A and B are shown apart, each in its own frame.
Chain A
Amino acid sequence: AQKITQTQPGMFVQEKEAVTLDCTYDTSDPSYGLFWYKQPSSGEMIFLIYQGSYDQQNATEGRYSLNFQKARKSANLVISASQLGDSAMYFCAMRLTGGGNKLTFGTGTQLKVEL
């Protein structure tokens, strides 16, 4: 069975600074996908970024980048130039290739961006 761990229940960052949200995972399956979702107070889960287990390069999407260290089984999200609108809950998630439509979520990190 796969498991996702997010050890930071809450994080604070100053506006315009960069912040790293930690995510580690555990699976014996060699083929998997890693996802980050953002959930603002409105409730909707918003897809941010994806990293495949066989991808050689770290994924980037605008201000979001994923620091993928496969040997350490970590997939940390880096948000550059934080904005007030980045304040939200952030979930790391994993799906096994061939694992059906099941996405396993971590416990989340509440990020607050301050002036």
Chain B
Amino acid sequence: DTEVTQTPKHLVMGMTNKKSLKCEQHMGHRAMYWYKQKAKKPPELMFVYSYEKLSINESVPSRFSPECPNSSLLNLHLHALQPEDSALYLCASSQRDRGLGGHEKLFFGSGTQLSVL
């Protein structure tokens, strides 16, 4: 079982709705990520939080709003989405690993499959 928990697993929303995706990890990792993945495509980085501060924003439209209330939680607030935003949204967390040359191993959740109607 993944140690990164995402809820909900599936979400259907209209273009006028406001919804939130939630992600939680209790591994003590200080970096957390949001990725967007279209079917049969690689994940695309959206946001990175490091020590609860937004460190990377990959020019994501403002209808996606990330929030990191504490070191264990990461939210993604959704508002006025478009049908092309339908995708699998993956959350991940990481920490430096000496066995990986100081690189960070990402632990991913199972994702939220989002459909925008």
- Residues of A whose CB lies within 8 Å of any CB of B are 33, 35, 37, 42-47, 50, 52, 54-55, 89, 91, 95, 97, 100-103, 105-108, 110
Contact = CB atoms under 8 A, between A and B. Distances in A.
Chain B: number of interface residues, binned into ranges: 20 to 34
Contact of A100 (B40, B42, B48, B101): B48
B113 A43 contact: yes
Nearest to B4: A44
Contacts of B55: 100-101
Contacts of B92: 45
Chain B interface, >50% SS class: strand
Given A33-B101, A33-B103, A95-B103, A101 B42 contact: no
Contact of A47 (B43, B56, B107, B113): B107
Interface of B: 2, 31, 33, 40-43, 45, 48, 50, 55-56, 88, 90, 92, 94, 99-111, 113
Contacts, number: 69
Contacts of A37: 108
Contacts of B42: 91, 105-108
A34 B88 CA distance: 24
B88 A52 contact: no
- B42, B45, B48, B101 — which one has the most chain A CB atoms within 10 A of its CB? B42
B103 A52 contact: yes
Nearest to A34: B103
